[in-house]
Structure 1
């Protein structure tokens, strides 16, 4: 546990009606599907972090376009003590190239239909469906 929240970036990559998700290997979301991403490094912008983490975890190339939203992930242990606090900044990215291949700290990387993401929230990290919804609305001009 750190004394402050940990800032991290998420790469929300949309290709048609599909979004790219990865299955996490590490806590706090081990085994769950979520957007590629990770901690922002010192001197790195959130946009740069999103693109870097996407490349490291999946090999996919994309261009960061805009900030969608931020998500607080606050996790307490069974005794109620704070274990993790992340502030995740979701960045909408434009797909450029590459087939997803799991690397770094993920076990799988796949394109998922938007509707399938909404239909299976229990297999996902918190807020994945909400962030996916925001991305699709933004792209559709809603």
Structure 2
């Protein structure tokens, strides 16, 4: 049996903390990860930069206008290659939309409860811990 080449899909995600150290998460409305909480983000459109995609995706999923900052890291969830960026909110009003059924700011306690009850996408806690991006006070 030969190897099958899988086309990877470039995606972006936004890691957004508010002034209180809470982390912005969305509940996924569609697969993969339907019903689970994750960082907001999505596919990079042809000809679009990562930063432009982060701004667009976060506006669509959370209603917030963000300014992308430094690259934080990459996660591979075949066939998706997700490049995550630290972001700060410039404006907008938090409201779930597009591929999100809910959007919330989570403090350390709420984040830990979601992790303990299996409501976060697989690997999110370990990835955010490795990137020092957990909500303030978590861990």
TM tier relative to shorter chain: 0.7 to 0.9
TM-score w.r.t. length of structure 2: 0.81
Report deviation, 1:11: 1.1
- Aligned length in residues: 127
Q: Distance in 2 between matches of 1:90 and 1:102?
A: 20
Deviation string 1:65-117 (CA, Å, 9 cap, x unpaired) is 0110000113xxxxxxxxxx211111100122233101111110110013432
**1:105 aligns to 2:106 (yes or no):** no
In structure 2, the residue matched to 1:132 is: 128
Trace 1:76-95 onto structure 2 (pairs within 5 A).
85-95=79-89
Report deviation, 1:128: 2.2
Which secondary structure state, in structure 2, belongs to the residue aligned with residue 136 of structure 1? coil
Deviation string 1:27-54 (CA, Å, 9 cap, x unpaired) is 1110000111000011111111111100
5+ residue gaps, structure 2: none
Which secondary structure state, in structure 1, belongs to the residue aligned with residue 128 of structure 2? helix
In structure 2, the residue matched to 1:28 is: 32
**1:7 aligns to 2:10 (yes or no):** yes
Q: Distance in 1 between matches of 2:57 and 2:49?
A: 12
5+ residue gaps, structure 1: 75-84
In structure 2, the residue matched to 1:71 is: 75
